[in-house]
Amino acid sequence: MENLELKQVKKVFGSGSNQVTALAGINFQAKAGEVTLILGPSGSGKSTLLTILGGLQQPSAGEVLVNGQKLNELTGPAADQFRLNHIGFILQAHNLVPHLTVQDQFTLVDKVKTAGNLPAATFDQYLGQLGIQDLLPKFPQDLSGGQSQRVAIARALYANPDFILADEPTAALDSQRVTEVGKLFQKIAQQEQKAVVIVTHDLRLKANADKIYQLIDGQIKEVSE
Ligand SMILES: Nc1ncnc2c1ncn2[C@@H]1O[C@H](COP(=O)(O)OP(=O)(O)O)[C@@H](O)[C@H]1O
Ligand SMILES: [Mg+2]
């Protein structure tokens, strides 16, 4: 069973009077088959938590465990390979390549990660559910914020990662789209046994979450409902 775990994770930025404790000792686990939602106001440490969880930055203290193995023991190319093959990031800046069409954003994934990406039929289904099939010939500059957000979601899903880590993935979406995206994340978690972790202040995603946590001032707690 795939899982990602934080143990006593702390993250401190800066030093002296500029010191900021972004994460103050986080214990947290995300499991395959579940959508885990971490809610919190701006500045509460959501993006810091998500990037540490996916190995994009290192904690100041504590451990990140993937299926019980320490992620911070992986460095250099091994860490890059791990992220490439197992983690799908949906980041706030959608990071689409400006001079590539939407279709070619996905073709690029095939070039970087040559095996294990989604079969065409499955991916078509996801494109339909995200409502972006008609956008394939367009360039990022011709997309609305919501469209580019949905393309970024599709790109992360296309690589078929075990762990899908999303930072405010619905900020630019209207409520109907939020429901669609929430349902898609939950379907993928359940049917494909993926672990989906979403950090957000968007309460609309609660409807499709299996576990809900609250992050306040770098401290996390599980909330019921
Ligand atoms: N690279 C950084 N350097 C200095 N401070 C940072 C850095 N990244 C985040 N912080 C600080 O850590 C705290 C949490 O930030 P962040 O994780 O971005 O919160 P959120 O995503 O919930 O808005 C904030 O006070 C922020 O200013
Ligand atoms: Mg953030």
Q: Considering its fold, how many domains does the chain have in total?
A: 1
- Indicate whether residue 36 lines ligand 1 (CB < 6 A): no
* pLDDT for the residue numbered 68: 87
Contacts of 117 (CB under 8 A, 6+ apart): 109, 110, 158, 159, 160
DSSP three-state, residue 74 = coil
Full domain range(s) for residue 145: 3-223
Can you give the pLDDT at residue 224?
74
Q: 120-130, pLDDT tens digit by residue?
A: 999 999 999 99
Handedness of CA 222, 223, 224, 225 (dihedral sign): negative
pLDDT tens profile 7-48:
999 999 999 999 999 999 999 999 999 999 999 999 999 999
Residue from 15, 20, 202, 213 to probe ligand 1 pocket by mutation (most atoms less than 8 Å from CB): 20
Q: Is 51 in the pocket of ligand 1 (CB under 6 A)?
A: no
> Is the confidence at residue 74, as pLDDT, over 90?
no
Spatial contact of 210 and 189, defined as CB atoms under 8 Å apart:
yes
**Residue 222 above 70 pLDDT?**
yes
Provide the pLDDT for residue 225: 60
pLDDT tens string 184-207 = 999 999 999 999 999 999 999 999
Q: Where are the beta strands (DSSP E) in 44-173?
A: 61-66, 69-70, 87-90, 163-167
**Edge-to-edge order in the sheet of strand 20-31:** 20-31, 3-13, 61-66, 69-70
Q: CATH number for the domain including 166?
A: 3.40.50.300
